[in-house]
Amino acid sequence: MNRKLSKKVKKKSIEFLLDWLKTMLIESESKKLSTKNYKNYLPQETHVFANGRLLVSSFTPRWFQKKIKKVLKRKPIDKITYNDII
């Protein structure tokens, strides 16, 4: 994957993360949410140790990136929606 596409994937993953966070927060808190402060709402630990392996925690930016890359094989990046990932 080239650098242009990886930048698009990263932006799309943050979009999806914000969409997911807005569903989890109350309305007044979701209005405060932005691309600059979304990390304050996420836990510090991004990985989980389970079954003797280190795994990426679900619903983190990297988790969304991995899901987008899987869907990217079937659809172009512009056509991928939040429902395709979840």
What pLDDT, in 10s, does the model give residues 28-75? 988 899 899 998 888 888 899 999 999 998 899 999 999 999 999 999
pLDDT of 86 higher than 90 = no
- Determine the pLDDT at residue 11: 95
pLDDT band at residue 1, thresholds of 50, 70 and 90?
confident
- Determine the pLDDT at residue 49: 93
β-partners of residue 53 are 50
pTM of model > 0.95: no
Which residue from 20, 25, 31, 26 is spatially nearest to 60, judged by alpha carbons?
20
The residue-averaged pLDDT of 2-23 equals 93
Burial class of 16 by CB neighbour count within 10 A (0 to 12, 13 to 18, 19+): buried
